[in-house]
Amino acid sequence: MHFAGRHVISIADFDRAEIIAILDHAQRMAEAPQRDLLRGHLMATLFFEPSTRTRLSFEAAMQKLGGRVIGFSDAASTSAKKGESLADTIRMVEQYADVIVMRHPRDGAARLAASLSRVPVINGGDGGNQHPTQTFLDLYTIRSHFPQLTDAAAPPLTIGFAGDLRYGRTVHSLLHALCHFRANLLTVAPRGLELPQSYLDDAARAGLTVEACPSLAEAARRCDVLYMTRLQEERFPDPLEFDHIKATYRLTAALLRDANPRLRILHPLPRVNEIATDVDATQHAAYFTQAGNGIPVRQAILALVTGHAAQGQP
C-alpha cells in the first residue's frame, strides 16, 4: 500500500484495504491532532466551480497540520477568464505547490490535470463524475455510526440514495466505494434522475442489491443510512422541469414518524429544499457532523499523498 505521490481522482483507483487504511488514518488524525506535520508545505486550491465545505475544509485541514495555502475560488478572477487552458494552469501551479486540490465543471478535468502534474492532484469534484474525498468522509461518517460497514462477516447495511442520482457526483463516488463492502441499496429518485445504467451495472457486478423505493417515508423506515442529495440545478438541462421536481421532493420530520430508530440521514450539503429544517433536531440528522468529519479525513489524505503520514503509519 503506497500513498506518497499518489493522485486522488476517482474512488475506483483505491482498493478495499486502501480505503480502510485512509479511514483508519483519519480516525488517528481526529484522536491525535498533528500541528506540525506539514509545516513548510504549500497546498494550491484551484476551484473553477463554487464550493464552501470542500475548499474550506481542505484549507482548514492543511493549516491545522502547519501547512500553508494559495489558490482561487473564483475562476473569473484568474487567467482562465483570458482563455488560459487548464493544462497550462496546471503546468505552472505544479511548480508552486506541493499538492493541488481542484474542482472543475467538466467530467474528467481532474484526470487530465493529474496526467500533467508531478505533484499529487486531489479531485474536489469534476462535473457530474466523481468526488472521492467526499466519499472518504461519507464512509468515515457511516462507519462511525455503523462499524459493521467494514466487517465482511456482518449483515449488510441498508443504504438509501435519494434525490438527483443522475447528476450527483457524490452518489456516484459513494456507490463505487460501497462496491467494496456489503450493502443493500434503495434508491428514491424523481423520474429522469435515476442512477445511470453504468452505476447499476457496477453495483450488480459487485453483488450489491439495488431496489427502487417509491417514497422517502418508506426509505426512512427501511434504511440504516439515508443519503440525501440536492437537485443539481447547474447540470439540469430544463429549468421548468427543475422547478417542478424541486417542489415535490422534500424530507420533513413528519415523514420520519415511522423511521427506523437507528436511521442516520447524511447529506453532502449544501441542502436547498430537500431536507426541511425541522429534521435537524431529530436524532436522525447526521449531516453537520458529517461535514465536520471533512477535517480529519482531508488531513489524512493530505498527509498520505505528500508522504508525511505520522511515524509508524503506512
Nearest distance, CB of residue 268 and ligand NCD, angstroms:
4
CA angle 176, 180, 185 (to 5 degrees): 65
- Is 125 among the residues that bind ligand NCD (CB under 6 A)? yes
What whole-number distance in Å separates Cα of residue 146 and Cα of residue 148?
A: 5
> Is 82 a catalytic site residue?
yes
Name the E strands within 117-162.
121-126, 157-162
Nearest distance, CB of residue 150 and ligand NCD, angstroms:
23
| Residue entry with cell 506540525 | 36
SS3 percent helix, strand, coil of the chain, rounded to 5, is 45, 15, 40
> Is 54 a catalytic site residue?
yes
Nearest distance, CB of residue 128 and ligand NCD, angstroms:
9
DSSP track, 26-69: HHHHHHS--TTTTTT-EEEEEESS--SHHHHHHHHHHHHTT-EE
What whole-number distance in Å separates Cα of residue 158 and Cα of residue 183?
A: 6
* Pick 89 or 293: Cβ nearer ligand NCD: 293
- Is 89 among the residues that bind ligand NCD (CB under 6 A)? no
Residues numbered 146 to 175 that lie near ligand NCD (CB under 6 A) are: 169-170
- Contact in structure between 267 and 228 (CB atoms under 8 Å): yes
Element (H, E) at 202: helix 197-205
> Is 6 a catalytic site residue?
no
- Is 53 among the residues that bind ligand NCD (CB under 6 A)? yes
- Is 134 among the residues that bind ligand NCD (CB under 6 A)? yes
Nearest distance, CB of residue 152 and ligand NCD, angstroms:
29
What whole-number distance in Å separates Cα of residue 16 and Cα of residue 5?
A: 19
- Is 104 among the residues that bind ligand NCD (CB under 6 A)? no
Exactly one of 103, 172, 176, 230 is catalytic; name it: 103
Sign (positive/negative) of CA torsion 140, 40, 32, 291?
negative
Nearest distance, CB of residue 229 and ligand NCD, angstroms:
6
> Is 131 a catalytic site residue?
yes
> Is 187 a catalytic site residue?
no
Which of 269, 279, 301, 305 lies at the binding interface for ligand NCD (CB under 6 A)?
269
* Residues catalogued as catalytic: 53-54, 82, 103, 131
Which residues form the interface with ligand NCD (CB under 6 A)? 53-54, 125, 131, 134, 169-170, 229-230, 268-269
